[in-house]
Amino acid sequence: MNNEEINDNSAVDEMNSIPEYGGTEVVSSDDGEERNQKFALENSVLLVLGANKKKISLLLLEKIFFVLKLKDLTGYAEYEFHPHVMGEYCNDLEDAVINPESLKGSWKYTPPEADDHYSGGYIVLTKSGRELYKENIHELGSDEDFKGYLRNIRNVRRAYNEYTDAEMLLLSFNAFPEYAENSDLYDMIYDKREVIAKKLLKKGRIDNKRYNELAVDGWHRWQD
């Protein structure tokens, strides 16, 4: 487990030192390990969504789970990320959000509008989902590892609410170029990098050095 302290220079740096979370053991099912993993992933989605009442874009949800993966803080959910037009991306997470099985009805997913090129759609807990979230918190609330896990989920969710999808894409494409794909979206964000970076600087999310790295330096992966 990597509990190294992280600074606050980018979206990836929003979380402080994170404790290990063991959680409760996933109950075995007749459908085997694959079903168990989707169940665990759906429960993780429930915890992230329940950490804040606001709706969240699929893009930001993907980035939150990527940070959890980087910090080896995934509970019993196993998932992998791969290159995507939106940067680091997990298909299993997208499937858990759009096609839930065990927690079907716990949240509502709304696809993006035709002119929405960034979000990937939006997710928000339903009334039954909020009740289930409260039940889970009550049931596991005395577990110290779970409390630490939940505290850090709330911290990163609160921090990521401060970013727009465009800001998150800019930070993602710059910080993790190996996960980016050559696309119109990449070019669009790169071309707007100065405007987006100025907004980040004004909000205090980055310093002048980071602003120059994002807005001034040439870092387009597919341009000479």
Lay out the sheet containing 107-110: strands in order across: 56-57, 122-125, 107-110
Cα 56 to Cα 22, 63, 76, 169, 193, distances in angstroms: 26, 11, 23, 15, 23
Indicate the pTM of the whole model: 0.83
- Are 146 and 21 in contact by the 8 Å Cβ rule? The answer is yes
For residues 129-150, give the mean pLDDT.
84
Cα 193 to Cα 84, 115, 168, 221, distances in angstroms: 19, 20, 11, 14
Backbone angles phi, psi at 181, to 5 degrees: -120, 145
**Residue-wise pLDDT tens digits, 164-176:** 999 999 999 999 9
- Are 103 and 43 in contact by the 8 Å Cβ rule? The answer is yes
Q: Mean pLDDT over all residues of the chain?
A: 84
Report the alpha-carbon angle 174-176-180, nearest 5. 85
**Residue-wise pLDDT tens digits, 60-109:** 999 999 998 888 766 666 789 999 999 999 999 999 999 999 999 999 99
- 73 or 136: whose pLDDT is higher? 136
Residue 53 CA to residue 77 CA, distance in Å, equals 23
**Residue-wise pLDDT tens digits, 14-73:** 433 333 333 334 444 445 677 788 888 999 999 999 999 899 999 999 999 999 888 876
Question: Taking 60 as the threshold, does the pLDDT of residue 139 lie above it?
Answer: yes
**Residue-wise pLDDT tens digits, 176-194:** 999 999 999 999 999 999 9
Cα 187 to Cα 112, 176, 221, 222, 223, distances in angstroms: 20, 15, 10, 9, 10
Backbone angles phi, psi at 125, to 5 degrees: -70, 145
Instruction: Give residue 8's pLDDT band: very low, low, confident or very high (50, 70, 90).
Output: very low
Give the three-class secondary structure for 110: strand
pLDDT attached to residue 74: 62
pLDDT attached to residue 13: 54
pLDDT attached to residue 37: 82
DSSP state of 114: T
Instruction: For tokens 């390990």, name the residue.
Output: 33
pLDDT attached to residue 64: 94
Residue 51 CA to residue 61 CA, distance in Å, equals 12
Domain boundaries, the chain: 11-160, 165-216
pLDDT attached to residue 170: 97
pLDDT attached to residue 38: 87
